[in-house]
Chain A
Amino acid sequence: MSSTTVISTPSADLATFDRTTSRWGRLTMIAALVMSLAAPLYLVLFADLGITQTQVWIAFLAVAAVFSVLWVVEPITYYPILGPAAMYQAFMIGNIANKLLPSALVAQAAIGAKAGTKRGEFSALMAICGAAMVHVFFMLVFVGLLGSWLVTIVPADVTDVARLYIFPSIIGGVIVQLVVSLKQPRVTLIAIATAGFVFFVLVPAIPAIANLATGITVVTTAVLAWFLRRKPRSDSTKEIS
Chain B
Amino acid sequence: MITSRPGDPGSTDILAIANLPILWILAVGVFAAIILQTVVYIRAARIAAPAAGISSAELKTSFRAGAVAAIGPSLAVVLVSVALLSLFGTPAVLVRVGLVGSAATETASASIAATTMGAALGDASYTQSVFAVAFMAMSLSGAMWMIATLVLTPLLRRGDSRLRSVNPALMAIIPAAALLGAFASLGIGELGKTPVHILTVLTSAAVMGMCLFVAHRFNVAWLREWGLGCSIVIGLIVAYSLHTTGLMPGA
Of the candidates B47, B135, B182, the one whose C-beta lies within 8 Å of that of A66 is B182
Of the candidates B45, B47, B108, B147, the one whose C-beta lies within 8 Å of that of A126 is B45
> How many A-B contacts if CB must be within 8 Å?
618
Of the candidates B14, B120, B152, B188, the one whose C-beta lies within 8 Å of that of A76 is B152
Q: How far is the CB of A67 from chain B (nearest CB, A)?
A: 5
Is A172 a contact of B208 with CB atoms below 8 Å?
yes
Give the residue among A55, A68, A220 with the most B Cβ atoms within 10 A: A55
Is A165 a contact of B136 with CB atoms below 8 Å?
no
Is B181 a contact of A38 with CB atoms below 8 Å?
no
Known contacts A103-B69, A143-B78, A176-B212, A166 near B122 by CB under 8 Å: yes
- Measured in the bound complex, the distance between the Cα atoms of B154 and A21 in whole Å is 12
Q: Which residues of B contact A140 (CB under 8 A)?
A: 31, 94
- Measured in the bound complex, the distance between the Cα atoms of B59 and A128 in whole Å is 11
Q: Mark B157-178, 1 if CB is under 8 A from A, else 0.
A: 1000001001001111111111
Q: Which residues of A contact B206 (CB under 8 A)?
A: 172
Q: Which residues of B contact A77 (CB under 8 A)?
A: 171
Is A162 a contact of B83 with CB atoms below 8 Å?
yes
Q: Does B214 contact A (CB under 8 A)?
A: no
How many residues belonging to B are interface residues under a CB distance threshold of 8 Å?
174
Give the residue among A9, A162, A171 with the most B Cβ atoms within 10 A: A171
Of the candidates A63, A134, A191, the one whose C-beta lies within 8 Å of that of B109 is A63
Known contacts A134-B70, A138-B74, A225-B174, A28 near B34 by CB under 8 Å: yes
- Measured in the bound complex, the distance between the Cα atoms of B37 and A177 in whole Å is 32
Of the candidates B51, B96, B153, B239, the one whose C-beta lies within 8 Å of that of A87 is B153
Q: Which residues of A contact B78 (CB under 8 A)?
A: 138-139, 142-143, 147
Name which residue of chain A comes closest to B31, CB basis. Answer: A136
Q: How far is the CB of B215 from chain A (nearest CB, A)?
A: 10
- Measured in the bound complex, the distance between the Cα atoms of B52 and A125 in whole Å is 12
- Measured in the bound complex, the distance between the Cα atoms of B202 and A175 in whole Å is 11
13 new A-B contacts at CB < 8 Å, known A51-B132, A169-B235, A170-B235: A36-B95, A43-B131, A47-B5, A63-B112, A63-B141, A74-B145, A126-B62, A147-B78, A173-B235, A176-B209, A196-B188, A213-B185, A217-B184
Residues of chain A from 189 to 218 with CB closer than 8 A to chain B in the complex: 190-192, 194-196, 198-199, 210-211, 213-215, 217-218
Known contacts A32-B33, A174-B228, A191 near B181 by CB under 8 Å: yes
Is A48 a contact of B6 with CB atoms below 8 Å?
yes
Is B156 a contact of A79 with CB atoms below 8 Å?
yes
Is A76 a contact of B156 with CB atoms below 8 Å?
yes
Is B107 a contact of A170 with CB atoms below 8 Å?
yes
Is B173 a contact of A170 with CB atoms below 8 Å?
no
Is B150 a contact of A30 with CB atoms below 8 Å?
yes
Q: Does A58 contact B (CB under 8 A)?
A: yes
Is A118 a contact of B153 with CB atoms below 8 Å?
no
Name which residue of chain B comes closest to A66, CB basis. Answer: B182
Name which residue of chain B comes closest to A98, CB basis. Answer: B73
Q: Does B249 contact A (CB under 8 A)?
A: no
Is A63 a contact of B140 with CB atoms below 8 Å?
yes
Q: Which residues of B contact A229 (CB under 8 A)?
A: 169, 173
Of the candidates A13, A113, A135, the one whose C-beta lies within 8 Å of that of B48 is A13
Of the candidates A33, A106, A198, the one whose C-beta lies within 8 Å of that of B146 is A33
Residues of chain B from 11 to 62 with CB closer than 8 A to chain A in the complex: 14-15, 17, 19-20, 22-23, 26-27, 29-31, 33-38, 40-42, 44-45, 47-54, 58-62
Name which residue of chain B comes closest to A159, CB basis. Answer: B86
Q: Does A94 contact B (CB under 8 A)?
A: yes
